Amino acid sequence: MKKAIVFISAAFIFFAHFAAYADEPAPGYKPPIVRVAVIKGVKDLILSVRGKVQIRPFQSDDILYEADSLAKSEASAQSWGVKIADMDFKFYGIRIIPSNEATIDIGKRSFRGEVDIIRQKDETLLVVNHIIVEDYLKGVLYHEVSHWWPIAVLEAQAIASRSFALYQAAANKNRDYDLETDVYSQVYGGATSERYRTNKAVVNTAGKVLMYKDKILPAYFHATCAGHTEDASVLWKTDLTPLKGVICGFCNRSPHFHWKKRILVKDIQKAIGIKNIKSISPKKFDSSGRIVALDIQTSEGKITEYSAKDFRQKLGGNTIKSAIFTVSIRLKRGKKYAYFEGAGWGHGVGMCQWGAFGMARKGHNAQDILKHYYPGADIEIYAE
């Protein structure tokens, strides 16, 4: 009997907790569509559709092809348009429209929504996935945070990612696409990347975005800030109160809190275009403690001031993980190396993901997390 009572009590707590996150989207919320460039610059690719499908000219309602499915086929760029299997589409672009439940398989990934295949001027293909933002986020969250992390982190990430995506959609409305699939946009893997808990976080927060002064906030985020987030205006032309940077005492459990890297000096010289480097030293710091500019001295005595942002970009964000580092140059076995020791991972602006994890472990919910990392921003239901 006692075991039954314990089981019922545990079940009640579980379902009560589950229900607490089962928010219904606001009445009238209609998820907007975002356009994601999922493939660029290829001559051909393999695609298929598991379900009913239509193919139409890009930006037209004419039906060029209709079937119960599309078998695995090669799509290729031609001087006159796009070829799929033995079908010649003499248009610069076509749109593949599956039935509601069908997905489009391209290579090893599956995508919901519709797909444009556009022949570029250099006779390569640009593939753009048109998808409602809620389904897009389901393909993003798995890549941005661990799907086993506390639900508060997943929900905070869903709101930040939704805000970022819709901000980019507004900013890029005159381009062929709004977003890409890499770390400079948001990593997106399509339906292949969906998981139960991350999908649940998207559903729980449906339509919720961060707003500041009646405008959607470009809600940047990064892996680990190492103590203080960055002021966005240092890196970009973005001068907003919620992105000015805050103290973060929550990310010290991150495996990226401290890092080291050894790089051949000749590789640095090739990457940044400066020969005979003798020393690299910080010259300017910002209020968060990050390096803004470096002095790079050559063996001839010439000193060049070099942007820390550009230095990271040229060497790669996974190589120089942040702009918080020290560096020394030493010879080892006849080769000249630069030895870096640093803290944090990413540009440092907005939400620190490992900090969000630390906050959630201390009992904070998604709203607490977002209020901390984006002070002054409001959480509202998106309205076009």
Tell me the two tokens of residue 47: 């695609």
Residues listed for the chain: 384
Number of DSSP helices (H) and strands (E) in the chain, helices first = 10, 23
Domain assignments of the chain as residue spans, ordered by start: 33-131, 140-220+353-381, 258-343
CA distance 297 to 58: 53
Residue 1 confidence (pLDDT): 39
- pLDDT by position in tens, the chain (length 384): 333 333 333 333 333 333 333 445 566 799 999 999 999 999 999 999 999 999 999 888 999 999 999 999 999 999 999 999 999 999 999 999 999 789 999 999 999 999 999 999 999 999 999 999 999 999 999 999 999 999 999 999 999 999 999 999 999 999 999 999 988 889 999 999 999 999 999 999 999 999 999 999 999 999 999 999 999 999 999 999 999 999 999 999 999 999 999 999 999 999 999 999 999 999 999 999 999 999 999 999 999 999 999 999 999 999 999 999 999 999 999 999 999 999 999 999 999 999 999 999 999 999 999 999 999 999 999 987
Q: How does strand 335-343 pair with strand 53-57?
A: unpaired
Any bridge partners for residue 39, and if so which?
127
Contact between residue 380 and residue 27 where contact means Cβ atoms under 8 Å apart = no
Q: How does strand 351-352 pair with strand 221-222?
A: parallel
| Sequence-distant (≥ 6) Cβ neighbours of residue 7 within 8 angstroms | none
Residue 25 confidence (pLDDT): 57
CA distances from 216 to 131, 167, 222, 362 (A): 20, 6, 19, 29
Contact between residue 78 and residue 66 where contact means Cβ atoms under 8 Å apart = no
pTM (predicted TM-score): 0.89
| Sequence-distant (≥ 6) Cβ neighbours of residue 41 within 8 angstroms | 120, 124, 125, 126
Return contacts of 62-67, CB within 8 angstroms, 24+ apart. Answer: 64/89, 64/94
Residue 7 confidence (pLDDT): 33
User: In the chain, which ranges are continuous DSSP H helix?
Assistant: 2-20, 133-138, 141-144, 151-171, 196-204, 232-235, 265-272, 308-315, 353-361, 366-373
Please name the amino acid found at residue 219: A
